[in-house]
Structure 1
Amino acid sequence: MKIVALHESTRPIASPIRNAYIDFSKMTLSLVAVVTDVVRDGRPVVGYGFNSNGRYGQGALMRERFFPRLLEADPASLVDDAGTNLDPHRIWATLFRNEKPGGHGERSVAIGTIDMAVWDAVAKIAGVPLYQLLAQRYGTGTPDRKVFVYAAGGYYYPGKDDTQLKDEMRRYLDRGYSVVKMKIGGASLDEDLRRIDSVLSILQDGQRLAVDANGRFDLDTAIAYAKALSRYDLFWYEEAGDPLDYELQATLRNYYKNPMATGENLFSMQDARNLVRHGGMRPDRDWLQFDCALSYGLVEYLRTLDMLRQHGWSPSRCIPHGGHQMSLAIAAGLGLGGNESYPDLFQPYGGFPDGVKVENSYVTLPELPGIGFEGKADLIREMRALAS
């Protein structure tokens, strides 16, 4: 058993939207295919992966550094002891060989994308959904196929007014979401409060709003927003300041008693550990948003979950960023609190397999081998074209 080919393609997911920090007019991602010599139903088993939005494609790093390490390795060093499947942990160790610790920037995205494709291949070779494989290896043995999801949107857009913002949020609510999220920090506090009021005006009983500043604020601005937002019963106040400014996050808890969320821009177990050590996050109410596709993949995410347990955190307080099916599988298999979703953005990479419906902000994952990409027609079409 061996990996016979690795493919990468940088794909545009450009959009005129913006958050408080960046616009997406030139946004890209990397699409990866890991081709094995295992044959199922007359076809080679291929694992697929891609990185989440907000970080650009990492094709150069993959082609120049990480693909060669895998292709030059002894194939026997990349499989499990039985020789019947790939070993994601051994593959990860090969990818990270000769890498210094620290500096978890773009390489964490490159490795995380390859890691996603490896796990997809591993579950397909085993003939089971990834969530089932994860539950058996690392969880309770029984996955929870019903996963909480929320609809992320509410971006700033040229000419977009409060009426259009409300119309967008109504579309999400009509699709079955009961929690929706909008951006703040890209306008004045007064304007953002008006935008929040407009969205809250359309919510019914049981429906909630989360807000996301995308790390824009300094401490004084974060506190000013916290005081103003305290009048609302928000689902969370997300990423007020720079993701590595743990002191800002720790100070903010003194001004905001309701739930906060952060972590999507922390790309290693060590950075996540620093957040829970020094960021003042509260395991009884706050949310952690580490995204495996950006942070070295599931191998590293398993280390992060172990660290969180040691610090008194439940996996159920993790709702990953990214809106991709990999995190859905992890949530179902390992008991996370849910997953982000982008109903109208970054297609065909976001969303669920065809036919999956959102009911009261929950989806039920179908029984598809691997991550389940084959169940999304527009996405698997692009993936198979890359592999061929």
Structure 2
Amino acid sequence: MKILEIREVTKPIASPIRNAYIDFSKMTTSLVAVVTDVVRDGKRVVGYGFNSNGRYGQGGLIRERFMQRIVDADPVSLLNDQQDNLDPHRVWSTLMTNEKPGGHGERSVAVGTIDMAVWDAVAKIANKPLFRLLAERYKHEANPKVFVYAAGGYYYPGKDLSALRAEMRSYLDRGYNVVKMKIGGASLSDDAKRIEAVLAEIGGQAQLAVDANGRFDLDTAIDYARMLRAYPLFWYEEAGDPLDYRLQAVLADYYPNPMATGENLFSHQDARNLLRYGGMRPDRDWLQFDCALSYGLCEYLRTLDELKIAGWSFDRCIPHGGHQMSLNIAAGLGLGGNESYPDLFQPYGGFPDGVAVENGYVTMPELPGIGFEGKQALYREMRNLAE
């Protein structure tokens, strides 16, 4: 049993939308295929992965640095003790050979993309859905029912309040009961009008979360907190720079309601520092670490260990990214849910075909691996790479 080849292609996920910090007009993602020599049901097992939106494709790093380490490794060194499957942790260690500590930036995205594909292959070789494999390995009770919220509310040219309201209404019509919109890309007074328009539209049918994408300095974050605390929001997300733990801690003095952050922290060390110094409150706040941006599931497991040490429950984690990998982690390891992009970054986001949102939850299908083969538009892209 061995990995025969790793392939990568950089694909566009461009859109005219923008948040408070960046536009997505040139956004890309890396699509990776880990080709093995294992055959299941007459087909060669191939694991697939890709990186989350908001970070660009990592083709250069993947092709020039990381994939070659796997190709050059002794195949036996990448197997588990029983030598009947790949060992994702041994693969991860090989990927990180000769890498210095720290420097958690773009390389965390490259490694996380490959790691996703390796776990997909491992679960397919075991002929199990990844969420069930994770529950068995890490002694959790699998729960195929996962909370999801609809992320949208971006800025784009010509989008007035009626269009924003219509967008949010469409999410409710599709079964969501928590929706999210962007703030910080307009003035505070204009954002207040946008928030009030959405709240008027969704009424008591749903809750609203807002996301500043790290835009604010401390004074602006506090100004927004004073405005936002008047509204019944699900959370106030990423007010300032993700590494400005003091800003996050001070903000808690001005905003008593739930806050969320963590999607742009790329290691368990970063997560540890957030929990130590960021003033995050385990009884109400949310953590959004995204395995596809932060060295993959192997590192995410270490991040969850940090949560245990700090006295946090896994159900305070709702990962960023809107991809099926985090859905499987949520169902297998007991996270609080997952982000969803109903209309954006397709075909990479979303759920397998036929999986509907019901009262804010989806039910995972019993598909081997991560379940990409159940989403035909995405699987066409993946199959083209593998074949």
TM-score (ref. length: structure 1): 0.99
Which residue of structure 1 lines up, in the alignment, with residue 80 of structure 2?
Answer: 80
Letter in structure 2 aligned against 1:276? L
Separation in 2 of the partners of 1:204 and 1:352? 27
- The answer to whether the 8 Å contact 1:320/1:339 transfers is yes
CA distance in 2, matches of 1:219, 1:106: 26
Q: Residue 205 of structure 1: CA displacement?
A: 2.1
Deviation string, structure 1 residues 240-299 (Cα, Å, up to 9, x no partner): 000000000000000000000000000000001000000000000000000000000000
Equivalents in 2 of 1:173, 1:189: separation in Å? 26
CA contact (8 A) 1:215 1:242 kept: yes
Number of residue equivalences: 387
Cα displacement (A) at 1:203: 1.4
The answer as to 2:63 corresponding to 1:56 is no
Show the counterpart of 2:116: 116
Q: Matches of 2:202 and 2:159 in 1, distance apart?
A: 20
Q: Check whether the contact 1:147–1:364 (CA below 8 A) recurs between aligned residues.
A: yes
The percent identity for this pair of structures is 77
Which residue of structure 2 aligns with residue 238 of structure 1? 237
CA distance in 2, matches of 1:41, 1:363: 28
Counterpart code for 1:307: E
CA offsets, 1:117-155, max 9 Å, x none?
000000000000000000000132x30000000000000
Is the 2:78–2:86 contact (alpha carbons within 8 Å) kept by the matching residues of 1?
yes
- How far off is 1:158 after superposition? 0.5
> CA deviation digits over 1:203-248, x for unaligned, max 9?
1324100000000000000000000001001000000000000000
Could you tell me whether the CA contact under 8 Å between 2:168 and 2:202 is conserved in 1?
no
Aligned to 1:228: 227
Q: Which ranges in structure 2 are unaligned for 5 or more consecutive residues?
A: none
Aligned residue type for 1:51: N
Q: Indicate whether 1:11 and 2:38 are aligned.
A: no
Q: Counterpart of 1:348? A: 347
1:275 aligns with 274
2:14 counterpart letter in structure 1: A
Partner of 1:290: 289
SS in 2 for 1:237: strand
Q: Is the Cα contact below 8 Å between 1:146 and 1:362 reproduced in 2?
A: yes
How far did 1:42 drift? 1.4
Residue type of the alignment partner of 1:89: H
For residues 165-224 of structure 1, what are the alpha-carbon distances to aligned partners after superposition, in whole Å with 9 as ceiling and x for unaligned? Answer: 000001101000000000000000000000000000011324100000000000000000
Superposition RMSD in Å = 0.5
SS in 1 for 2:362: strand
2-structure distance, mates of 1:227, 1:80: 53
Aligned partner of residue 205 in structure 1, secondary structure: helix
- CA offsets, 1:40-78, max 9 Å, x none? 111110000000000000000011100110000000000
Secondary structure of 1:235's partner?
A: strand
Letter in 1 for 2:322: G
Which position in structure 2 is the counterpart of 1:323? 322
Q: Measure the CA separation in 2 of the matches of 1:166 and 1:27.
A: 26
**Partner Cα distance (1:160, 1:103) in 2:** 39
Is 1:273–1:307's contact at 8 Å kept on the other side of the alignment? yes
CA contact (8 A) 1:139 1:333 kept: no
Q: Distance in 1 between matches of 2:203 and 2:75?
A: 56
2-structure distance, mates of 1:172, 1:139 = 35
Aligned residue type for 1:375 = G
> Which runs of structure 1 show a deviation greater than 2 angstroms over 4 or more consecutive aligned residues?
none
Letter of the structure 1 residue corresponding to residue 42 of structure 2:
G
* 1:25-174 pair list within 5 angstroms: 25-140=25-140, 142-174=141-173
With the length of structure 2 as denominator, give the TM-score of the two structures.
Answer: 1.00
Question: Aligned partners of 1:233 and 1:167: how far apart in 2?
Answer: 20
Distance in 2 (alpha carbons) for counterparts of 1:139 and 1:248: 37
**1:381 alignment partner in structure 2:** 380
Separation (CA, whole Å) in 2 of partners of 1:287 and 1:195: 23
SS in 1 for 2:243: coil
